[in-house]
Amino acid sequence: MHLSPGALQRLMTDAWPPVERAQLGEWELRAGHGFTGRANSALAVGSPGLPLPEALTAVQHWYTARDLPASLVVAGPLGFDPAMDPAGAAALALGWRSRVLTLTLTAAVDDVRRHQDRPPSGVELRVDPVMSEGWFQALTRYRAADRTAVAAVVHGSPAQRFVTAVEDDVVIGIGRLGVSGAWAGVGAMWVDAAHRQRGLARTMVNHLAHEANSLGASWIHLQTDSDNRAALALYRSMGFTDHHAYVYLAA
């Protein structure tokens, strides 16, 4: 399925949804109690209906009113430079700071499902429709997170599934799937450092692809930093291809 970067960015929102949304022209302002960049950033797709400097000021005021830092997402084709995007250029000119580019990869669900993998011996994979306490505690091992904020975001998709890898009653890996219509999004992928290179991430993604199929999705997307070579190699080996890049700009 061919979608522009902006169109896919809009679809991706429902896979990792904010708690609050507002429109500024065609831009979407998103807030999720500060949990993750995607749920707490303005998606600059289309026209904001205002001159860009005024639009950026409006974005700052909206986030300040929610005690959140102002953040903007600009997207473009692979290899794009945010300074060449009108909103990106305006933000950079005002001193907003950019982080490393993020790549969005996509695949047909059936292609990912073909990569059948069993979990390593002694590892149990559990799939739940709601976040378990073990899943949440594993999340906090690699990022600071407030439970109320996390629950509000990760349960906000039309449908979601949580995969947990357990060995000797210890959670050693997690992932999440958010489904909206024909598209599913994989996120919150994590494997304990002591258990990497065992095929856990591959197995969890495969299981989530099967869940996506059972929930009626035909296409799947995920995101990773452009400098995360290990993750990119894994996803590409499972049938994912690079779709577009995007960047967060912080005021």
**Mean pLDDT (whole number) for 151-165:** 98
Does this model's pTM top 0.85? My answer is: yes
Q: How many CA atoms lie within 13 A of 17 on its CB side?
A: 19
Is 118's pLDDT higher than 90?
no
Is 149's pLDDT higher than 90?
yes
pLDDT confidence band for 1 (50 / 70 / 90):
low
Percent of the chain with pLDDT over 70: 100
Over residues 60-107, the pLDDT tens digits come to 999 999 999 999 999 999 989 999 999 999 999 999 999 999 999 999
Is 53's pLDDT higher than 90?
yes
| DSSP SS3 for 129 | coil
Whether residue 159 contacts residue 17, with contact meaning beta carbons closer than 8 Å, is answered with no
Over residues 175-195, the pLDDT tens digits come to 999 999 999 999 999 999 999
Over residues 194-246, the pLDDT tens digits come to 999 999 999 999 999 999 999 999 999 999 999 999 999 999 999 999 999 99
- Per-residue b/e over 191-207, b at no fewer than 16 CB within 10 Å? bbeebeebbbbbbbbbb
pLDDT at residue 94, rounded to an integer: 96
